[in-house]
Amino acid sequence: MILKNKFIGLILIFFFFSSLISAQEKGILRGVVKDSTNLESLPFGNVLLKEINAGTSTNNRGYFVIPSVPADVRYTLVVSYIGYKSKILNVAVSPGKITELEILLAPSSVELQTVEKIEYLKPEENVPDLGKIVITSGRIESVPKGVESDLLRSLVSMPGVQSTGDVSAKFNVMGGESNQNQVLFDGIPLYYPYHAIGLFSVVDPDLVNNAEFFRGGFPSPNGRAISSVLKIGTRDGNKNHFGGKVSASLLSLKGMIEGPIPGGSFYLTVRRSTSNKILNKFLNSDVPVDFYDAAFKLNISDPGFFSGAKFTLQGLFSQDNLKYDEPDRPDYRWTNSLIGLKVFTVGSVPFFLDLNISFSAFKNEIISKEGEIKPKLNELYDFTISTDFLYVLDNKDEFGIGADIKSISSKMFLLNRFDFRADVGSEGLSSNAYINYKFLRFPDFGADIGIRANLKNLAAKGDFLEPRVNLSYKVTNAVTLKGSYGIFQQELITIYDEREVISLFDPVVIIPDYLEKSRAAHYILGISAALSDNINFDLEGYYRKIYTSSSLNENRTIASDPELIPSHGESYGSQLSFNFKNSRFEFNSGYTLSWAFKEVNGIKYRPRFDSRHNFNLSLSYTLPAEIIFSCVFSYHSGNPFTLQYGYYDQFSMNDFLRNGNLFDNVTHVQYYKEKNGGRLPDYHRLDLMLSKKFNLGFMKLSFDLSAVNLYNRKNIYYFEQNTGKRINMLPFMLTGTIKAEI
């Protein structure tokens, strides 16, 4: 194994230096594509030099590089981005130099912009990008709203992604558990990205510029998760003029201001809950949730200060409070605090350099009052320094290298039944490094080969190396084959009880010393076909082997028993997606056939998120008068649950001294069949949305009206154990949002 990894490293180094030596007297074309109205970058757009048929895509920052362009020739450069008017430029490239361009695209008409932005944008066909989906802000806005637009809720419309229910925005990806997903807010770890007991995310969708979602097989620059990675990129703020937005829904009120500052731009946004009435429909009970989130960002890119560099300071803060009036019911609190400093540099040669310094804190608390539930407190502090270097070679290949140093401290404070305080926690330093090489020189073949090295682990044991390979081969002009393999590891885990329907305490801890890191392998094969300019479909098959993970010990009876024990698992299946679009109409559908298994203490069972069939259908159409109609239909097979087939009465002495009535000290103890041996009924739901925008000159107004669960399907949520009462998910309801922008 060691010899194999060394051999891969030598190959990468050989190709890197051989490409440098073979550089000819050619020029390099590099530029950035932006929105002309606010100078926001436009990521994942298309750039083409017509005369030599050389093209590329802008990256997540809107930059592009076309190397090895024959010099002293004038070219026609075509730049296009969905929702914007294409631009044609005449450019000349100088020998041995980088020709820099800043390209501004004007938005199309309102109706075209709205329709065309509803798309998963794809880069070049030879780029090995299996499992990666790019989400634009328009895609988020087009999904009918349970309450309001939300990035995490938009994920569940994708093949391979399953929601944990109407109540929660938590998700499972291709048989992975919800605590095996990583969410990054502009590169800063966001450990609990949920509001209102998980109903939607703490990230305001108005902040999102783009998001890269890796459903599996993600390349070596991405790590510290074994299931999926969601990388959220935020806007910079309007660089042309000051502006603001105010919007209101049935759940919250939010406002945003943005504008230029000397050498850069800024934004500031605040969102606050206003009512619980709509939330109570989700939960079938009165839940007194109160929440807020706030975010800011400052950008400086002044050539007079530091040419080619962009400095960013940003933060995100959120808090949820669940406060009951009853003295015997505890209160709950969740908080996130993120702050980051970034330096992004574009070199005088075709390279990009990122330096990030970030701090992320998560706090989860149960505040006991007069009831029997004991107080609990979980705190996690993450301080990270990371750097990423990307060099684009003359033959279009890309060489990347990066490293990080992460200091983690996790704490857990508990009171036992004797009111003794227990401080459980750990801290440690970890460091990862990666190297990867993308072969993009061949028009029909692409490869991304890389490896991550765990230079310093946290308290958990694990492997030193994580090899990754992604391949792409263009069989014909319309058909592309893709494959992916990788080893993935995870050092942190969110502890949750699989038996709980709604989790109110989700502590995040370092995996303890007596357990290994969570470790998994991904094997994915796929085929993509472009049947025409408007029709595309993708078919993927996958197998995931979870060698080790950490699960809650359900049989823990004494303090000396471990709270976490090792578990294993596997999942496999296939997923099909189909897309059709034109200037007014967009249709997407996805189907997933999957199996998932988990093994704990030698017992193999189907986890609660195992669902055999998942089907999603969405469409959007631009009606006359610039009214946008969209709908989403969702279906999935029933999830597993554990059947109860009897109970017996047990006499308890716990409260005998406080309660002298013997009959009040009798409790029911249930008998259960095999774990998750039953299946709930199938789930299906239809949501509709109408959206209308008005341009009043000095102000833009938009109205959204959503009909949720249009035919009032009674989807089961759970059965109460003590009474057997059936609790259903969300009934039919109407929701609306109004937004004003100046």
pLDDT tens, 596-607? 999 998 889 999
Task: Give the residue-averaged pLDDT of 100-115.
Answer: 69
- Check whether residue 136 and residue 254 sit in a common domain: no
Nearest residue to 597 via CA among 570, 560, 632: 570
Q: Are residues 262 and 168 in the same domain?
A: no
24, with CB counted inside 10 A (0-12, 13-18, 19+), is exposed
Residue 116 has pLDDT above 70, yes or no: no
Q: How confident is the model at residue 238 (pLDDT cuts 50, 70, 90)?
A: very high
- Would you state the pLDDT for residue 63? 92
Residue written as tokens 């029911």?
A: 668
Evaluate if residue 19 carries a pLDDT over 70.
no
> What's the confidence (pLDDT) of residue 420?
54
566 and 451 housed in the same domain: yes
Number of other CB atoms surrounding residue 369 within 10 Å: 13
Percent of the chain with pLDDT over 90: 40
Tell me: the pLDDT tens digits for 122-159?
435 577 888 888 887 767 776 666 667 888 888 888 88
| Interior/surface letters 267-283, b for 16+ CB within 10 angstroms, e for the rest | bbbbbebeebebbebbb
> Does the residue 692 lie in any domain?
yes
The string over 634-660, giving b where at least 16 C-beta atoms fall within 10 Å of a residue's C-beta and e elsewhere, is: bbbbbbbbbeeeeeeeeeeeeeeeeee
pLDDT of 30 > 70? The answer is yes
**Tokens 């709950």 found at:** 332
Is position 654 within any domain?
no
Contacts of 269 (CB under 8 A, 6+ apart): 204, 206, 207, 254, 255, 256, 257, 294, 295, 296
Distance CA 26, CA 92 (A): 12
Pair (691, 556) in one structural domain: yes
At residue 112 the predicted structure's pLDDT band, cuts being 50, 70 and 90, is very low
> CATH number, domain at 172?
2.170.130.10
Residues 129 and 79 in one domain: no
Averaged pLDDT, 488-508? 83
Same domain, 520 and 601: yes
Residue 669, domain member (yes or no): no
Element (H, E) at 283: helix 277-283
| Domains held by the chain: number | 3
Indicate the pLDDT class of residue 555, thresholds 50, 70 and 90.
confident
Quick check: is 22 in a domain? yes
Residue 29 reports pLDDT greater than 50: yes
Question: Which of 211, 231, 251 delimits the end of a domain?
Answer: 231
Average model confidence (pLDDT) for the chain?
84
The mean pLDDT of 406-421, rounded to a whole number, is 74
Final residue of a domain: which of 108, 126, 142? 108
Q: Are residues 511 and 617 in the same domain?
A: yes
CA-to-CA distance for 553 and 559, rounded, in angstroms? Answer: 12
Instruction: Please name the residue that has the structure tokens 């969905």.
Output: 82
Looking at per-residue confidence, does 461 or 464 come out higher?
464
Q: How many residues does the chain have?
A: 742
Kindly state whether residues 413 and 357 are assigned to the same domain: yes
- Residue 252, C-beta contacts closer than 8 angstroms, at least 6 positions apart: 147, 148, 271, 272, 273, 274, 291
* Residue predicted with more confidence, 528 or 307: 528
Residues 148 and 94 in one domain: no
Note whether residue 731 is domain-resident. Answer: yes
Percent above pLDDT 70 for the chain: 87
pLDDT tens-digit map of 287-324:
788 899 999 999 998 776 677 789 999 999 999 998 88
Q: Residue 97: give its domain's CATH number.
A: 2.60.40.1120
Domain hosting residue 569, numbered range:
232-642+677-741
Specify whether 598 is located in the same domain as 539.
yes
pLDDT range class, residue 223, cuts 50, 70, 90: confident
If you ran DSSP here, which 8-state letter would residue 346 be given? E
Kindly report which listed range (539-543, 550-554, 680-684) carries the lowest average pLDDT score. 550-554
What is the per-residue pLDDT for 114? Answer: 37
What CATH number does the domain containing 580 carry?
2.40.170.20
Domain assignment present for residue 667? The answer is no
Are 149 and 35 part of one and the same domain? no
pLDDT of residue 327: 84
State mean pLDDT over 504-513: 86
Contact 405, 370 (CB under 8 A): no
- Answer whether 710's CB lies under 8 Å from 688's CB: yes
Pairwise CA distance, residues 245 & 738, whole Å: 11
DSSP 628-648: EEEEEEEEEPPPEEPPEEEEE
**Chain center to CA of 294:** 19
Whether 652 is covered by a domain: the verdict is no
Regarding whether 244 and 227 lie in a shared domain, the answer is: no
Does a structural domain hold residue 565?
yes
pLDDT of residue 496: 79
Report the sign of the C-alpha dihedral through residues 506, 511, 513, 516, in that order: positive
Domain boundary, last residue among 75, 108, 141:
108
Check pLDDT > 50 for residue 162.
Answer: yes
The pLDDT, as a whole number, for residue 110 is 42
- The per-residue pLDDT for 41 is 92
The whole-number pLDDT of residue 718 equals 77
Provide the pLDDT for residue 225: 93
pLDDT at site 415: 64
CA–CA separation, 75 vs 92, rounded Å? 6
The pLDDT assigned to 417 comes to 53
Query: What pLDDT, in 10s, does the model give residues 702-739?
Result: 888 889 899 999 988 877 766 777 888 888 888 888 88
